[in-house]
Amino acid sequence: MGVLNVTPDSFSDGGDFFARDTALRRAEQMVAEGADIIDVGGESTRPGADAVSMQDERRRVVPVIEALARRLPVPVSVDTSKPEVMRAAADAGASLINDVRALRAPGALAAAVSLGLPVCLMHMQGEPRTMQESPTYGDVVAEVGNFLKARIAACLAAGLPGERLLLDPGFGFGKRLAHNLALLARLPELAEIGPPLLVGISRKSMLGAITGRPVAERLPAGLAAAVLAARSGARILRVHDVAPTVDALKVVAAVAAATAQAPAEQGEPG
Ligand code: 7PJ
């Protein structure tokens, strides 16, 4: 899953032709590099970020999703928590809802049910503006798992079938480094819940905390994290750097295939 931010700090401004054209070219590049999904987000959910109005968010993402859904050979997902934006994005051709609030906003669950689209349910403790101030857990893996199970139950009760769900532990969303590391180390426990896991670690501050590197220099660390996540059962990786991640995942897949192969079939040179 390639990340396409259409927040004002990432593009000139939402809605105008320059922003749309830039977004389209960036998305086409990510698809050429091997992205299977393009995730379009118009709400900055970085730590400390202010909330954005529904109108602004819709104005940013809808024209981009419309252009992408018409021209890309892969599904377009919308990174939003707002039911009005979900509906407008679906009308514009989005085929996956990626919600960092796991359909907890008023009306979001009902919107997702009526749209009939698959949904990624992500765990977040608190809200982006304040979530990194004092994240607290007993057993972070158990608590994230219990939260995700409760959200699955809420979805099932509302008529959203389990086959339409993806789960995400929400790396960096109300979590300290130790919490993020525990979640990555014990990712297989979350994979056992059932729905496919989506994981986003690309360029995040946990990589900076481990390596001491600024955002622009976190690719090697992000590839290591992507490989570890894939080996632990993650099925979708949300990343900014598609081509290097695809290469890293090809190595993971090749080793996985060799692990499954019978010894008699070995012997190709290389
Ligand atoms: C995530 C996301 C993530 C899902 C963002 C960033 C922050 N959606 N949206 N999972 N992160 N599902 O990319 O640094 O980890 S925005």
Output the pLDDT for position 49.
Answer: 85
Residues belonging to the active site: 204, 238
Q: Is the pLDDT of residue 50 over 80?
A: yes
Tell me which residue has its CA closest to atom 14 in ligand 1.
204
Q: Is the pLDDT of residue 16 over 90?
A: no
Task: List the one residue out of 35, 37, 34, 13 whose CA is nearest residue 23.
Answer: 13
Closest atom, ligand 1, to C-alpha of 204? 14
Percent of the chain with pLDDT over 90: 86
CA of 43 to the centre of ligand 1 (A): 11
Task: List the one residue out of 22, 29, 98, 35 whose CA is nearest residue 67.
Answer: 22
Q: What fold, for 2-267? A: TIM Barrel (3.20.20)
Largest CA distance in the chain: 61
Domains of the chain, by residue range, sit at 2-267
Integer Cα distance of 232 and 166 in angstroms: 16
pLDDT tens-place string over residues 257-267: 999 886 766 66
Is there a contact between 6 and 64 (Cβ–Cβ < 8 Å)?
Answer: yes
Q: Is the pLDDT of residue 85 over 50?
A: yes
pLDDT tens-place string over residues 126-184: 999 989 999 999 999 999 999 999 999 999 999 999 999 999 999 999 999 999 999 99
Ligand 1 proximal residues by C-beta, below 6 Å: 3, 45-46, 79, 98, 100, 120, 122, 168, 170-171, 198, 200, 204, 238
Mean pLDDT of 199-205: 98
Starting at the edge strand that comes first in sequence, how are the strands of the sheet with 76-79 ordered?
A: 2-5, 38-41, 76-79, 96-99, 119-122, 165-168, 197-199, 234-237
